[in-house]
Amino acid sequence: MSAVRISKITITPVAFADPPLLNAVGVHEPFALRAVVEVDTDAGLTGLGETYADEQHLAALRAAAAAVEGADVYHTEEIYRRVQAVAAPDAVIASGLIGHSAATDRVFSPFEVACLDIQARAAGRPVADLLGGAVRDEVPFSAYLFYKWAAHPGADPDGWGEALDPGGIVAQARRMVDAYGFTALKLKGGVFPPEQEAEAIRALRRAFPDHPLRLDPNAAWTPATAINVARDLDGVLEYLEDPTPGIDGMAQVARLAPMPLATNMCVVAFAHLPPAIRDDAVQVVLSDHHYWGGLRRSGLLAGICETFGLGLSMHSNSHLGISLAAMAHLAAATPNLTYACDTHWPWKTEDVVAGDPFTFSGGALHVPDGPGLGVELDRDALARLHEQYLRSGIRTRDDTGYMRRLHPSYERRQPRW
Amino acid sequence: MSAVRISKITITPVAFADPPLLNAVGVHEPFALRAVVEVDTDAGLTGLGETYADEQHLAALRAAAAAVEGADVYHTEEIYRRVQAVAAPDAVIASGLIGHSAATDRVFSPFEVACLDIQARAAGRPVADLLGGAVRDEVPFSAYLFYKWAAHPGADPDGWGEALDPGGIVAQARRMVDAYGFTALKLKGGVFPPEQEAEAIRALRRAFPDHPLRLDPNAAWTPATAINVARDLDGVLEYLEDPTPGIDGMAQVARLAPMPLATNMCVVAFAHLPPAIRDDAVQVVLSDHHYWGGLRRSGLLAGICETFGLGLSMHSNSHLGISLAAMAHLAAATPNLTYACDTHWPWKTEDVVAGDPFTFSGGALHVPDGPGLGVELDRDALARLHEQYLRSGIRTRDDTGYMRRLHPSYERRQPRW
């Protein structure tokens, strides 16, 4: 048995066009950022990972890359320790709740995915087979609906059109369901006063009587507002996602809300699980391998959810095809991931992945057959999106700053209503 | 990618000589039972697992074997589901606390280990590499001390001699430490009144001033007795294992005991973790892949312990070399398994494993280099120990029944003191 050692790591920040999607803290900028992580080995096999590309995160990735060169790709626990030793102090996220191990988890994730890609390629098997194997061949995703402008100011319309009221949201949902076959609908809220967003949910219910519905105001509401909206939407929502900030606030709402509360904001690290479970603050956790420490640690999260009777869904930021493949393998191999996953996929027009390895049918994605993640880099596209990154001038995602440049009176407030 | 399908499963019950070790429910019979599970595949690779061989468990293993033939060895989640569907109802353990998934975990375990053995052999890597890779090359084990008779009635002495008082226990510890270099000592208690066993612990402390010490009376004490002994041994024990039965009783003791409480009795399934954590009933869980559903689910247990701030050690029943190899790979790849593991290894004089792949040094076992588990069957030995099983007449472990045949007035009582 000879080791398969990491000989080189290449981290390439890229920018891809993103529509003006509105949320609780502002609006998506014209370009979203991602970092593509390529791991080369002395055995000739290469693996891919994808993660955030904010400046501080890129610095942490580069420090980690230097630290893990020479490691055996099968020794991911050892790689985790090396990442923890060098990258975590630089990667602590603004939230005071995020501790040392959470910072490590975020930096470690793309390296772990790339190492599993390599291991799976070596075995001639899909990555899902390193996680216990797929229990489903098709992974269901939800339509991720956004309030949005027709175009970025000064730019051409993006083709999706404006969606600033219930009619616009229903039209957007119709188009997305027609194209992908999604069987669940999620509305990103926190943009308009809650009664307007509740009205949009009711319009979706009328237009799609059988689709499970979710509303995610990204902690824009006080607990009292959240309780009122939750009661108002009793029987309409599959779950209500992050209505209010913090574990304490969510616990207050959970005691009176008639539907489960989901989160990707107040439980985003293993350290958040004990208090959230103790207080029954959330009933569904949205997994995300980008910040839960890669695919195997996301499997740990899934097992914790199963053990403690929590539901499990999957969160998405704007992402490219490497992440979609990783999400699909993880979801396929997670028995208790029973909610349709989130994805920003339909909003994206550019990618670094070669060809089109992704087939949606009935809202579900066929898990790429592999070996490995089942995706390859398109090097021309990678170079083009890297050039776009350099030209874009965007170095850290700033939805609020972009909104304030357009609307100087805009203020970031949490909660807002 | 072609599947690696299970083409045949062979389950062989074996019996191996076991000394008259005393415990809270009686005494070890002259032979201990184990089942050797061989999984053959259409790709020509074979994997090994080892588990209990009590009659009811054997029946469940055979039903599960029939159900998983044809499955892909990489699809262990699918195999889990097949086992759950057929074997669990037959495998429910006597304890009312053990539910459906725990029964599945016990039956599934040897098949999972064998599948990982095959996957690792195919990759040319040790099994630890399927679990994130070894974070330690040497796995520390503890000396497992027992009160014992000099010989089984009517049989020749076993060479270890009698140990029925503190002097006998210290002599036994000395011999075991001299032979293996163990740096931690565990005494199986619950045999004599607690003050006598506390005296043995104090004698061990005097003879081995630097060895961490553990006492395990197997739930033989009431909570009040347990609290008294715990206070009496303040500063002497590393942890006190299962002093009293049940999560409620353990929680009572834990509130007043000065040292951590460990368990392999009141938390033996995932369903036991939420109440035990809620009540802070135990501070250390003894992992055991034979009943926690194999190596990956034992990894889940480890992650839960880390997340919720529980310590993690490892339990052992009388076992052969296949289990020792699996325990070593698991322990090597579990970052937070920081206590020396239990093993009955020194008490065993026969095995089914070829050669001697196990090297203890300073009380630690060098992890077999693999590929796979790093052990092979000695077919002559397997046939011999199977013959011994057939001749022994023992079909279900019964320490109490054996004791009562020798001492008819013996009664099983829990708690006893």
Amino acid at A124: G
Count Cβ atoms below 10 Å from residue A51 Cβ, excluding itself: 28
Instruction: Estimate the crossing angle of helix A247-256 against helix A223-232, to 10 degrees.
Output: 30
* Active-site residue, from B315, B319, B344, B348: B315
Residue A177 near residue A208, CB atoms below 8 Å:
yes
Asked if omega into A20 is within 30° of 0 (cis), the reply is: no
Whether chain A has a CB inside 8 Å of the CB on B297: the answer is: yes
**B77–A132 C-beta distance less than 8 A:** yes
State which residue of chain A sits closest to B307, comparing Cα positions: A270
φ, ψ at A25 (rounded to 5°): -120, 10
Touching check for B133 and chain A: CB below 8 Å?
A: yes
DSSP per residue, B138-166:
EEEB-EEEE-B-SS-TTS---SS--B-SH
Between A133, A304, A370, which is nearest B75 by CB?
A: A133
Measured CA angle at B68 (ends B36, A338), to 5 deg? 125
Tell me which chain B residues have a C-beta less than 8 angstroms from the C-beta of A74: 125, 129, 133
Active site residues of A: 188, 315
Contacts of A371 in chain B (CB under 8 A): 1
Helix (H) or strand (E) holding B204: helix B194-207
pLDDT for residue A382 is more than 60: yes
**Catalytic residue list contains B315:** yes
* pLDDT tens digit at each of 417 positions of chain B: 678 999 999 999 999 999 999 999 999 999 999 999 999 999 999 999 999 999 999 999 999 999 999 999 999 999 999 999 997 554 444 433 345 678 999 999 999 999 999 999 999 999 999 999 999 999 999 999 999 999 999 999 999 999 999 999 999 999 999 999 999 999 999 999 999 999 999 999 999 999 999 999 999 999 999 999 999 999 999 999 999 999 999 999 999 999 999 999 999 999 999 999 999 999 999 999 999 999 999 999 999 999 999 999 999 999 999 999 999 999 999 999 989 999 999 999 999 999 999 999 999 999 998 899 999 999 999 999 999 999 999 999 999 999 999 999 999 999 999
B chain contacts of residue A297, beta-carbon cutoff 8 Å: 303
Polymer length of chain A = 417
State the pLDDT at residue A1.
Answer: 59
Q: Which residues of A touch B124 (CB under 8 A)?
A: 1
Instruction: Kindly report the pTM of this predicted structure.
Output: 0.97
pLDDT of A209-263, one tens digit each? 999 999 999 999 999 999 999 999 999 999 999 999 999 999 999 999 999 999 9
Beta strands in A108-225 (DSSP E): 138-140, 143-146, 185-188, 213-216
- Which H helix or E strand runs over A46? strand A46-51
Chain B neighbors of A374, CB-CB under 8 A: none
Choose among A123, A124, A333: nearest Cβ to B77.
Answer: A333
Rounded to a whole number of angstroms, the distance between the first and last alpha carbons of chain A is: 61
Instruction: Please give the pLDDT value at position B92.
Output: 44
Residue of B nearest to A124 (CA): B1
A304 touches chain B (CB under 8 A): yes
pLDDT in tens, A268-310: 999 999 999 999 999 999 999 999 999 999 999 999 999 999 9
Handedness of CA B295, B301, B305, B310 (dihedral sign): negative
ipTM of this complex: 0.96
DSSP state of B340: P
Q: Do B133 and A78 touch (CB under 8 A)?
A: yes
Q: Please calculate the CA angle A292-A297-A300 and round it to the nearest 5 degrees.
A: 115
Q: What is the per-residue pLDDT across A167-220, written as a single tens digit (0 to 9) for each?
A: 999 999 999 999 999 999 999 999 999 999 999 999 999 999 999 999 999 999
- Distance between CA atoms of A80 and A105, rounded to whole angstroms? 8
- Please tell me the predicted confidence (pLDDT) of residue B100: 61
Distance, in Å, from the CA atom of A226 to the CA atom of A219, rounded to the nearest integer, reads 9
SS3 sequence of A214-230: EEECCCCCCHHHHHHHH
The total of other beta-carbon atoms located within 10 Å of residue A175's CB is 15
| Single-letter code of the amino acid located at B59 | A
Please spell the DSSP secondary structure of B232-295, one letter per residue: HTTTT-SEEE--SSSHHHHHHHHHH-SS-EEESSS--SGGGHHHHHHTT--SEEEE-TTTTTHH
Closest CA to B120 of A286, A342, A1, A357: A1
Distance of CA B165 to the CA centre of its chain: 25
What percent helix, strand, coil does chain B show, rounded to 5? 40, 20, 40
Contact B130 A129 (CB under 8 A): no
First to last CA, chain B: 61
| Matching residue, tokens 């043995």 | B200
CA distances B19 to A254, B16, B165, Å, are: 57, 10, 17
The answer to whether A382 touches A12, Cβ cutoff 8 Å, is yes
Give the span between the Cα atoms of A240 and A263, in whole angstroms: 9
Helix-helix angle B223-232:B247-256, to 10 degrees: 30
- Cα–Cα distance, A135 to A139 (Å, whole number): 10
Contact A1 B76 (CB under 8 A): no
CB proximity B290 to A under 8 Å:
no
Cβ of B300 within 8 Å of Cβ of A303? The answer is yes
| Contact (Cβ atoms closer than 8 angstroms) between residue A285 and residue A263 | yes
* Mean pLDDT, range A15-42, rounded to an integer: 98
β partners of residue B240: B215, B261
Chain A residues near residue B303 by CB distance under 8 angstroms: 270, 297, 300, 303-304
CA pair distance A291, A240, nearest whole angstrom: 21
Interchain CB contact of B280 with A (< 8 Å): no
Give the per-residue pLDDT at A302.
98
pLDDT value of position B88: 56
The rounded distance, in Å, linking the Cα atoms of B356 and B87 is 34
How much is the mean pLDDT over chain A? 95
pLDDT band at A373 (very low <50, low <70, confident <90, very high): very high
Rounded-to-integer distance, Cα A33 and Cα A402, Å: 14
CA dist B81 and B66 (Å) reads: 13
Among A252, A83, A258, which Cα is nearest to A266's?
A252
Helix (H, G, I), strand (E, B) or coil at B175: helix
List the 190-249 stretch of A: residues with Cβ below 8 A of B.
none
- Amino acid letter, A20: P
Neighbours of A209 (CB within 10 A): 7
CB atoms near residue A171 (< 10 Å): 16
Query: How many Cβ atoms sit within 10 Å of the Cβ of residue B25?
Result: 20
pLDDT at position A370, please? 80
Res A125 pLDDT > 50? yes
The pLDDT of residue A410 is above 70:
yes
Task: Give me the DSSP letters along A89-114.
Answer: HHH--SSTT--HHHHHHHHHHHHHHH
Omega before B166 within 30 of 0, i.e. cis:
no
Give the closest residue to B318 by CA, choosing from B346, B292, B341: B346
